[in-house]
Amino acid sequence: MNAQLKTVLLTILTLSCFVIALVELSGVSKTAIFNKYDIGGSNSGMSSAAAALNDPNSVDARTKRMHDMPKTTIQFDTTKFSFGEIKEGAVVKHAFHFKNTGTNPLFISNAVTSCGCTVPSYPKEPVPPGGEGDIVLQFNSKGKHGMQHKNVLIYSNAQEEAMSMGFDADVKDAESK
């Protein structure tokens, strides 16, 4: 390859890299790094909070929806449970049964756990008046030892916006009887 051709190809390559860098830094492209990773809070002109509100499953959108709904009442069979003795490493679940005793739909916006070892699941759609449902708490006892007390805060449009529920478990070593 002659030197003149190499110079022309190198110039084209350099100019191409320069143009790509300009497009990326300007945010003009839909896939530009500034748009893709919302650097500088520019998600198509929206802030991160506004973009989150457009996602109906985001915590922010669910919380806003909860605050926009009229208040109702909720009744749980129980808000505390004891698993008793369990072996370390066991994964256990308990369902807390509830009923919407109010006159408006019940909307649960979020469930916040006190520990990553506890995973809550709850109805994502509103529960009609008189309707029933379950909030299931799953506890992974791996790496846990002794008496464990775990709590979950349930946020909803009930009169009491944040309700606490929880469980305890006495985690024994897997080798013990």
pLDDT in the model for residue 68: 78
pLDDT in the model for residue 27: 57
Q: Is residue 66 part of a domain?
A: no
Same domain, 125 and 80: yes
pLDDT over threshold 80, residue 46 = no
Q: State how beta strands 162-172 and 80-87 pair.
A: parallel
Q: What is the mean pLDDT of residues 10-28?
A: 75
pLDDT in the model for residue 73: 94
Q: What is the mean pLDDT of residues 63-74?
A: 84
| Number of domains within the chain | 2
pLDDT in the model for residue 138: 96
Q: Is residue 67 part of a domain?
A: no
Same domain, 82 and 148: yes
pLDDT in the model for residue 8: 87
pLDDT in the model for residue 2: 87
Same domain, 9 and 49: yes
CA dist., res. 167 & res. 177, Å (int): 23
Residue bearing the bigger pLDDT, 15 or 172: 172
Same domain, 50 and 89: no
Same domain, 49 and 83: no
C-alpha pair distances (Å), 113 with each of 8, 41, 154, 167: 62, 29, 9, 11
Same domain, 97 and 156: yes
pLDDT over threshold 50, residue 85 = yes
pLDDT in the model for residue 3: 86
Q: Which residues are 110's β-sheet partners?
A: 155
Same domain, 92 and 161: yes
Nearest partner of 27 among 13, 38, 16, 15, judged by Cα: 38
Write down the pTM of the prediction.
0.65
Same domain, 35 and 94: no
CA dist., res. 125 & res. 132, Å (int): 12
pLDDT over threshold 90, residue 177 = no
Same domain, 89 and 160: yes
Q: How confident is the model at residue 25 (pLDDT cuts 50, 70, 90)?
A: low
Q: Is residue 60 part of a domain?
A: no
Same domain, 82 and 156: yes
pLDDT in the model for residue 155: 93
pLDDT in the model for residue 53: 47
Q: Is residue 82 part of a domain?
A: yes
CA dist., res. 31 & res. 35, Å (int): 6
Min mean pLDDT across 7-11, 14-18, 162-166 is at 14-18
Q: Is residue 33 part of a domain?
A: yes
C-alpha pair distances (Å), 124 with each of 54, 65, 102, 135: 16, 12, 18, 11
Same domain, 40 and 122: no
Same domain, 102 and 159: yes
Residue bearing the bigger pLDDT, 142 or 59: 142
Domain, as residue range, for 134: 74-172
Q: What is the mean pLDDT of residues 52-69?
A: 70
